[in-house]
Structure 1
Amino acid sequence: MTSEVVAAAPVPVPGRAQRVRELALARQDLRGPLIPILHAVQEELGYVAPADVAVLADVLNLSVAEVHGVVTFYKDFRRTPAGRTTVTICQAEACRSVGAVALAAHAQATTGCGFGETTADNRLTLEQTYCFGNCALGPAVQVGDKLHGRVTPTRLDALLGDAR
């Protein structure tokens, strides 16, 4: 499915580099510190900006390529800001067997964006996961921090309406 995603180039935020450096310095002595640092940056600042990669590489004495490789390898790390609300649809086998594929297609058609994309108005980001552990109540959908089970296209429309 093709869709247009409006993803403005991240504008450097004054003080962001300093905060990223502080987060990294506070965790640099952990065993294997890069991933915990990336999680901390994303949790506090919302995403790992391209400029953050160079700061982290400097603090950890790694190459920019090494840090970039980790950020881009793991789907947990966002490289652009997410929309106001993130909608995540389970695509694991249990949910797929009870309608998650059709639900995902409906969500993509309704929002106009694919998985990993954000609507043009920055209100919704559509994501997929491969298990919420809510298999008995599939298809499972998480809207923001709230998990919903047995979600139908009609129910998804209502959830998306609330999120907008």
Structure 2
Amino acid sequence: MKKDQVIPIRPEPGSELPPAQLTAVRAALAQQQHRPGALLPVLHAVQDALGYVPAEAVPLIAWELNLSRAEVHGVISFYHYFRQEKPGRHVLQLCRAEACQAVCGATLEAHAQQCLGVGFHGTTADGALTLEPVYCLGNCALGPSVMIDGELRGRVSPERFDHIVAQARQTP
């Protein structure tokens, strides 16, 4: 090594996160990291706090749990529950399980995608709604079902879907 050569310093894991997100990730880690198999509880806590798991949080989570970044990313990308991008103001989950499919779920799915102008995992251009597939909401007798912001709705027709969307667009 030459006398004038500068050795680059590796940035601290998580330093790319905005301060509020860094605080949320550190809080999730502090609360969950001592549990056996802490990765899933940490990821759930981060997503509960931020609405998604930012890619910039992966190095910090990996570092604190003594895992590789690949292991953390592998879990995030394996489970459909975890979002890797910020969702819209409202998250609309549409059931795709067999019971809902048997009562015109495919028709509702096509209507939802056309109405919103996005496919599954997409967010509307105005940032109001993110459409996600779910494989059973446990509301089989009242299908097709959707859940919006944690509120379950059953017997959702295309017309009722339009009403749900209109209400969501009116609320911040």
The two structures share one fold, judged by TM-score above 0.5: yes
In structure 1, distance between residues paired with 2:155 and 2:23: 44
In structure 1, distance between residues paired with 2:23 and 2:152: 35
Based on CA coordinates, which of the two structures has the bigger radius of gyration?
2
Secondary structure of the 2:64 match is helix
1:34 aligns with 2:34: no
Secondary structure of the 1:150 match is coil
User: In structure 1, what is the equivalent of residue 107 of structure 2?
Assistant: 102
Secondary structure of the 1:162 match is helix
Normalising by structure 1, what TM-score? 0.89
Which residue identity does 1:83 align to in structure 2?
G
User: In structure 1, what is the equivalent of residue 11 of structure 2?
Assistant: none
- Where structure 1 has 5 or more consecutive residues not aligned to the other structure, the ranges are 1-10
- Where structure 2 has 5 or more consecutive residues not aligned to the other structure, the ranges are 1-15
In structure 2, distance between residues paired with 1:22 and 1:90: 32
RMSD of aligned residue pairs (Cα, Å)? 1.3
1:143 aligns with 2:148: yes
Normalising by structure 2, what TM-score? 0.85
In structure 1, distance between residues paired with 2:50 and 2:95: 25
**Residue 76 of structure 1: which of 75, 81, 85 is its match?**
81
In structure 1, distance between residues paired with 2:31 and 2:99: 41
Q: Which has the higher contact order (CA 8 A, sep 6+)?
A: 1
Percent identity between the two aligned chains: 49
In structure 1, distance between residues paired with 2:27 and 2:166: 39
1:7-156 matches, within 5 Å, as: 12-156=17-161
